[in-house]
Amino acid sequence: MPYAGGSRRRFISHRNTQKKRLKKSLVSSLVILSSPLGWFVLSCEDRSNFMLPLSVVTKHKKQSKGDVLNISNTDAVLSVGHFEREARSATAVQSRGLHTDAQRWNASDRCLSAGNEARCKRSMRPNAALYERGEKSWAAVLVCLCVVSGQPALLFNLRSAKLKGRHKGDVSFAGGKNDSLDRTVVDTALREAREELGIHITEDQVWGVLKPLRDTSGMMIAPVIANLGALEALSFKPNPSEVEEIFTLTLEHLCQPQNRGYTHFRTGDRYGYTLPVFHSPKYRVWGLTAVAVDHTLKLIVPPRQELDHSLVR
Protein backbone atom coordinates (compact mmCIF):
# COMPACT_ATOMS: atom_id res chain seq x y z
CA MET A 1 0.00 0.00 0.00
CA PRO A 2 1.53 3.31 -0.98
CA TYR A 3 2.16 6.07 1.51
CA ALA A 4 2.80 9.72 0.78
CA GLY A 5 4.44 12.55 2.60
CA GLY A 6 3.98 16.31 2.71
CA SER A 7 3.67 18.48 -0.38
CA ARG A 8 6.68 20.61 0.59
CA ARG A 9 9.09 17.81 -0.19
CA ARG A 10 10.90 18.20 -3.48
CA PHE A 11 11.46 15.36 -5.87
CA ILE A 12 13.42 14.92 -9.07
CA SER A 13 12.74 12.25 -11.67
CA HIS A 14 15.68 11.16 -13.80
CA ARG A 15 15.79 9.76 -17.31
CA ASN A 16 18.69 7.80 -18.73
CA THR A 17 20.81 9.94 -21.08
CA GLN A 18 24.40 9.79 -22.24
CA LYS A 19 25.35 12.32 -19.58
CA LYS A 20 23.17 11.03 -16.75
CA ARG A 21 22.66 7.37 -15.90
CA LEU A 22 20.29 6.00 -13.36
CA LYS A 23 21.64 5.12 -9.96
CA LYS A 24 22.42 1.43 -9.58
CA SER A 25 21.53 1.10 -5.92
CA LEU A 26 18.28 1.82 -4.12
CA VAL A 27 18.56 4.03 -1.08
CA SER A 28 16.72 1.86 1.44
CA SER A 29 15.47 3.12 4.78
CA LEU A 30 13.20 1.87 7.51
CA VAL A 31 11.24 5.08 7.15
CA ILE A 32 10.09 5.34 3.54
CA LEU A 33 8.74 8.73 2.53
CA SER A 34 7.15 9.73 -0.75
CA SER A 35 5.19 12.55 -2.34
CA PRO A 36 1.62 12.51 -3.67
CA LEU A 37 3.13 13.34 -7.04
CA GLY A 38 6.23 11.29 -6.50
CA TRP A 39 6.10 8.77 -9.25
CA PHE A 40 8.12 8.56 -12.42
CA VAL A 41 6.13 7.64 -15.53
CA LEU A 42 8.19 5.52 -17.87
CA SER A 43 7.63 5.46 -21.60
CA CYS A 44 9.48 2.93 -23.68
CA GLU A 45 9.81 2.12 -27.34
CA ASP A 46 8.74 -1.47 -26.97
CA ARG A 47 6.41 -2.78 -24.30
CA SER A 48 6.14 -6.49 -23.78
CA ASN A 49 2.58 -7.80 -23.83
CA PHE A 50 2.72 -10.36 -21.06
CA MET A 51 -0.47 -10.22 -18.98
CA LEU A 52 -0.69 -6.45 -18.92
CA PRO A 53 -4.03 -5.33 -17.49
CA LEU A 54 -6.86 -3.78 -19.45
CA SER A 55 -10.62 -3.56 -19.15
CA VAL A 56 -12.60 -6.61 -18.16
CA VAL A 57 -14.92 -8.02 -20.79
CA THR A 58 -17.75 -10.42 -20.16
CA LYS A 59 -17.34 -12.43 -23.34
CA HIS A 60 -14.90 -15.27 -22.81
CA LYS A 61 -12.65 -16.30 -25.65
CA LYS A 62 -9.62 -18.47 -26.18
CA GLN A 63 -6.55 -17.06 -24.51
CA SER A 64 -3.60 -15.96 -26.55
CA LYS A 65 -0.26 -14.45 -25.64
CA GLY A 66 -1.77 -10.99 -25.33
CA ASP A 67 -4.58 -11.95 -22.99
CA VAL A 68 -4.80 -10.80 -19.40
CA LEU A 69 -6.76 -11.89 -16.39
CA ASN A 70 -8.66 -9.20 -14.52
CA ILE A 71 -11.32 -9.18 -11.85
CA SER A 72 -13.67 -6.30 -11.16
CA ASN A 73 -15.47 -5.90 -7.85
CA THR A 74 -18.60 -7.45 -9.38
CA ASP A 75 -16.92 -10.61 -10.68
CA ALA A 76 -16.91 -13.88 -8.79
CA VAL A 77 -14.41 -15.58 -11.10
CA LEU A 78 -11.59 -14.53 -13.40
CA SER A 79 -12.57 -13.20 -16.78
CA VAL A 80 -10.44 -12.79 -19.87
CA GLY A 81 -9.64 -9.48 -21.53
CA HIS A 82 -7.50 -8.67 -24.56
CA PHE A 83 -5.27 -5.77 -25.43
CA GLU A 84 -3.17 -4.67 -28.36
CA ARG A 85 0.50 -3.80 -28.16
CA GLU A 86 0.98 -0.08 -27.59
CA ALA A 87 4.26 1.40 -28.77
CA ARG A 88 5.51 4.89 -27.98
CA SER A 89 8.59 6.62 -29.27
CA ALA A 90 10.62 7.62 -26.25
CA THR A 91 13.96 6.96 -24.70
CA ALA A 92 14.07 3.64 -22.89
CA VAL A 93 14.89 4.03 -19.24
CA GLN A 94 17.54 1.91 -17.61
CA SER A 95 16.75 0.84 -14.09
CA ARG A 96 19.29 0.19 -11.38
CA GLY A 97 21.53 -2.85 -11.53
CA LEU A 98 19.10 -5.24 -9.86
CA HIS A 99 17.21 -7.46 -12.32
CA THR A 100 18.60 -5.79 -15.44
CA ASP A 101 19.98 -9.03 -16.86
CA ALA A 102 17.29 -10.20 -19.27
CA GLN A 103 18.42 -13.80 -18.94
CA ARG A 104 17.45 -13.77 -15.28
CA TRP A 105 13.73 -13.61 -15.97
CA ASN A 106 14.08 -16.18 -18.74
CA ALA A 107 14.27 -18.62 -15.84
CA SER A 108 11.38 -17.00 -13.96
CA ASP A 109 9.25 -20.11 -14.45
CA ARG A 110 11.53 -21.72 -11.86
CA CYS A 111 10.95 -18.99 -9.28
CA LEU A 112 7.97 -20.90 -7.87
CA SER A 113 9.73 -24.27 -7.86
CA ALA A 114 10.00 -26.37 -4.70
CA GLY A 115 13.73 -25.73 -4.57
CA ASN A 116 13.36 -21.97 -4.75
CA GLU A 117 10.53 -22.01 -2.21
CA ALA A 118 12.79 -23.83 0.26
CA ARG A 119 15.63 -21.37 -0.40
CA CYS A 120 13.34 -18.36 0.15
CA LYS A 121 11.92 -19.81 3.36
CA ARG A 122 15.42 -20.33 4.74
CA SER A 123 16.34 -16.77 3.81
CA MET A 124 13.26 -15.25 5.50
CA ARG A 125 13.28 -17.42 8.63
CA PRO A 126 15.42 -14.99 10.71
CA ASN A 127 13.00 -12.14 9.93
CA ALA A 128 10.36 -13.60 12.25
CA ALA A 129 12.36 -12.38 15.26
CA LEU A 130 12.06 -8.79 14.01
CA TYR A 131 8.32 -8.90 14.71
CA GLU A 132 8.60 -10.19 18.29
CA ARG A 133 9.83 -7.05 19.99
CA GLY A 134 6.62 -5.91 21.63
CA GLU A 135 5.23 -3.65 18.92
CA LYS A 136 1.76 -2.62 20.12
CA SER A 137 0.49 -2.10 16.60
CA TRP A 138 1.59 -3.08 13.15
CA ALA A 139 0.27 -3.40 9.62
CA ALA A 140 0.79 -6.26 7.21
CA VAL A 141 0.35 -6.70 3.47
CA LEU A 142 0.04 -9.98 1.59
CA VAL A 143 2.37 -10.22 -1.40
CA CYS A 144 0.60 -12.88 -3.47
CA LEU A 145 2.62 -14.97 -5.87
CA CYS A 146 0.52 -16.83 -8.43
CA VAL A 147 0.60 -18.53 -11.82
CA VAL A 148 -1.38 -17.07 -14.74
CA SER A 149 -1.48 -19.12 -17.95
CA GLY A 150 1.72 -20.86 -16.89
CA GLN A 151 3.54 -17.59 -16.09
CA PRO A 152 4.58 -16.66 -12.51
CA ALA A 153 3.07 -13.33 -11.49
CA LEU A 154 2.19 -11.03 -8.61
CA LEU A 155 -1.40 -10.22 -7.66
CA PHE A 156 -2.31 -6.56 -7.08
CA ASN A 157 -5.50 -4.68 -6.30
CA LEU A 158 -6.66 -1.20 -7.15
CA ARG A 159 -7.95 0.61 -4.08
CA SER A 160 -11.53 1.80 -4.34
CA ALA A 161 -12.17 5.44 -5.20
CA LYS A 162 -14.76 5.39 -2.40
CA LEU A 163 -12.08 5.18 0.28
CA LYS A 164 -11.07 8.26 2.21
CA GLY A 165 -7.55 9.59 2.16
CA ARG A 166 -4.93 10.42 -0.42
CA HIS A 167 -4.32 6.83 -1.51
CA LYS A 168 -7.72 5.97 -2.90
CA GLY A 169 -7.40 4.61 -6.42
CA ASP A 170 -3.77 3.54 -5.88
CA VAL A 171 -2.30 0.14 -6.65
CA SER A 172 -1.61 -1.88 -3.52
CA PHE A 173 -1.48 -5.30 -1.93
CA ALA A 174 -4.25 -6.52 0.34
CA GLY A 175 -3.40 -5.45 3.87
CA GLY A 176 -4.08 -3.27 6.86
CA LYS A 177 -3.56 -2.80 10.60
CA ASN A 178 -3.67 -5.60 13.13
CA ASP A 179 -6.63 -6.18 15.41
CA SER A 180 -6.91 -7.70 18.87
CA LEU A 181 -7.39 -11.25 17.54
CA ASP A 182 -4.25 -11.27 15.39
CA ARG A 183 -1.42 -13.18 17.06
CA THR A 184 1.17 -12.49 14.35
CA VAL A 185 1.73 -10.36 11.27
CA VAL A 186 0.87 -13.44 9.19
CA ASP A 187 -2.57 -13.56 10.86
CA THR A 188 -3.08 -9.90 9.97
CA ALA A 189 -2.12 -10.35 6.32
CA LEU A 190 -4.29 -13.45 5.81
CA ARG A 191 -7.29 -11.83 7.52
CA GLU A 192 -6.99 -8.68 5.41
CA ALA A 193 -6.82 -10.81 2.25
CA ARG A 194 -10.06 -12.55 3.24
CA GLU A 195 -11.77 -9.24 3.95
CA GLU A 196 -10.57 -7.42 0.83
CA LEU A 197 -10.30 -10.15 -1.81
CA GLY A 198 -12.81 -12.69 -0.52
CA ILE A 199 -10.32 -15.55 -0.71
CA HIS A 200 -9.12 -17.94 1.98
CA ILE A 201 -5.35 -18.46 2.10
CA THR A 202 -3.85 -20.93 4.55
CA GLU A 203 -0.62 -20.66 6.51
CA ASP A 204 0.72 -23.59 4.50
CA GLN A 205 0.79 -21.28 1.46
CA VAL A 206 2.88 -18.67 3.27
CA TRP A 207 6.60 -18.61 2.44
CA GLY A 208 7.61 -16.11 5.11
CA VAL A 209 7.90 -12.43 5.98
CA LEU A 210 10.28 -9.87 4.54
CA LYS A 211 12.12 -7.36 6.72
CA PRO A 212 9.80 -4.61 8.00
CA LEU A 213 9.08 -1.34 6.28
CA ARG A 214 7.83 1.71 8.16
CA ASP A 215 5.45 4.39 7.01
CA THR A 216 5.71 8.12 7.76
CA SER A 217 4.03 7.64 11.14
CA GLY A 218 6.59 5.03 12.15
CA MET A 219 4.20 2.09 12.04
CA MET A 220 5.84 -1.22 11.16
CA ILE A 221 4.58 -2.82 7.94
CA ALA A 222 5.23 -6.51 7.34
CA PRO A 223 5.27 -7.81 3.73
CA VAL A 224 4.06 -11.43 3.99
CA ILE A 225 4.77 -13.61 0.93
CA ALA A 226 2.37 -16.40 -0.04
CA ASN A 227 1.94 -18.56 -3.13
CA LEU A 228 -1.66 -18.89 -4.35
CA GLY A 229 -0.83 -21.33 -7.15
CA ALA A 230 -2.80 -21.33 -10.42
CA LEU A 231 -5.04 -18.26 -10.41
CA GLU A 232 -7.50 -19.71 -12.92
CA ALA A 233 -8.63 -22.26 -10.33
CA LEU A 234 -9.48 -19.61 -7.72
CA SER A 235 -12.63 -17.60 -7.12
CA PHE A 236 -12.53 -14.06 -5.75
CA LYS A 237 -15.21 -11.89 -4.15
CA PRO A 238 -13.63 -8.44 -3.86
CA ASN A 239 -15.06 -6.10 -1.23
CA PRO A 240 -16.44 -3.21 -3.35
CA SER A 241 -15.96 -0.71 -0.53
CA GLU A 242 -12.21 -1.37 -0.52
CA VAL A 243 -11.21 -2.93 -3.85
CA GLU A 244 -12.09 -1.64 -7.29
CA GLU A 245 -10.15 -4.18 -9.33
CA ILE A 246 -7.77 -7.13 -9.03
CA PHE A 247 -5.08 -7.67 -11.64
CA THR A 248 -1.75 -9.42 -12.17
CA LEU A 249 1.66 -8.49 -13.56
CA THR A 250 4.07 -11.27 -14.49
CA LEU A 251 7.52 -11.51 -12.96
CA GLU A 252 8.87 -11.31 -16.50
CA HIS A 253 7.19 -7.94 -16.99
CA LEU A 254 8.32 -6.62 -13.62
CA CYS A 255 11.94 -7.63 -14.28
CA GLN A 256 12.10 -5.97 -17.69
CA PRO A 257 14.34 -2.90 -17.30
CA GLN A 258 12.10 -0.79 -19.55
CA ASN A 259 9.22 -1.36 -17.12
CA ARG A 260 11.19 -0.15 -14.11
CA GLY A 261 12.15 3.33 -13.03
CA TYR A 262 12.85 5.35 -9.92
CA THR A 263 12.09 8.68 -8.33
CA HIS A 264 14.62 10.60 -6.28
CA PHE A 265 13.26 12.77 -3.46
CA ARG A 266 14.96 15.62 -1.63
CA THR A 267 13.82 16.14 1.94
CA GLY A 268 16.08 18.96 3.08
CA ASP A 269 19.20 16.91 3.60
CA ARG A 270 22.00 16.57 1.09
CA TYR A 271 21.15 13.23 -0.44
CA GLY A 272 17.42 12.57 -0.04
CA TYR A 273 16.21 9.10 -0.95
CA THR A 274 15.21 7.03 -3.95
CA LEU A 275 12.14 4.83 -4.51
CA PRO A 276 11.46 2.33 -7.31
CA VAL A 277 8.50 2.58 -9.67
CA PHE A 278 7.04 -0.20 -11.83
CA HIS A 279 5.23 0.79 -14.98
CA SER A 280 2.57 -0.75 -17.20
CA PRO A 281 0.28 0.92 -19.76
CA LYS A 282 -2.61 1.18 -17.28
CA TYR A 283 -1.11 1.16 -13.78
CA ARG A 284 1.78 2.62 -11.79
CA VAL A 285 3.10 0.64 -8.86
CA TRP A 286 4.81 3.09 -6.53
CA GLY A 287 5.40 3.98 -2.88
CA LEU A 288 5.74 1.23 -0.28
CA THR A 289 3.99 -1.19 -2.63
CA ALA A 290 6.82 -0.76 -5.13
CA VAL A 291 9.40 -1.15 -2.37
CA ALA A 292 7.74 -4.43 -1.30
CA VAL A 293 7.75 -5.60 -4.94
CA ASP A 294 11.41 -4.68 -5.30
CA HIS A 295 12.38 -6.61 -2.16
CA THR A 296 10.26 -9.57 -3.27
CA LEU A 297 11.94 -9.73 -6.67
CA LYS A 298 15.35 -9.47 -5.05
CA LEU A 299 14.46 -12.53 -2.98
CA ILE A 300 12.63 -14.81 -5.41
CA VAL A 301 14.51 -13.92 -8.62
CA PRO A 302 18.10 -14.58 -7.58
CA PRO A 303 21.15 -14.06 -9.79
CA ARG A 304 21.30 -16.24 -12.86
CA GLN A 305 24.01 -18.50 -11.48
CA GLU A 306 21.80 -19.35 -8.49
CA LEU A 307 18.90 -20.15 -10.78
CA ASP A 308 21.12 -22.36 -12.89
CA HIS A 309 22.74 -24.30 -10.05
CA SER A 310 20.47 -24.33 -7.01
CA LEU A 311 16.88 -24.54 -8.26
CA VAL A 312 14.98 -27.70 -9.00
CA ARG A 313 12.27 -27.18 -11.56
* 293 assigned to some structural domain: no
Flag whether 310 is in a domain.
Answer: no
pTM to 2 decimals? 0.66
210 inside domain:
yes
- Residue 112 belongs to a domain: yes
- Residue 303: other Cβ atoms inside 10 A: 11
Residue 230 lies in a domain: yes
pLDDT tens sequence across 131-189: 876 667 789 999 999 999 999 999 999 888 677 655 666 899 999 999 888 999 999 99
Residue 85 lies in a domain: no
Element (H, E) at 309: helix 304-310
Q: Are 265 and 11 in contact (CB under 8 A)?
A: yes
Output the domain CATH number for residue 209. 3.90.79.10
Is 71 domain-assigned? no
Low-confidence ranges of the chain (pLDDT < 70): 1-109, 133-135, 161, 164-169, 269, 303-313
**If DSSP states are collapsed to H, E and C, what string results for 69-117?**
EEEECCCCECEEEECCCCCCCCCCCCCCCCCCCHHHHHCHHHCCCHHHH
150: domain range?
107-250
Q: What is the DSSP letter of 180?
A: T
Q: What is the rounded distance in angstroms from the CA atom of residue 51 to the CA atom of residue 142?
A: 21
Report if residue 207 sits inside a domain.
Answer: yes
Give the number of domains in the chain.
1
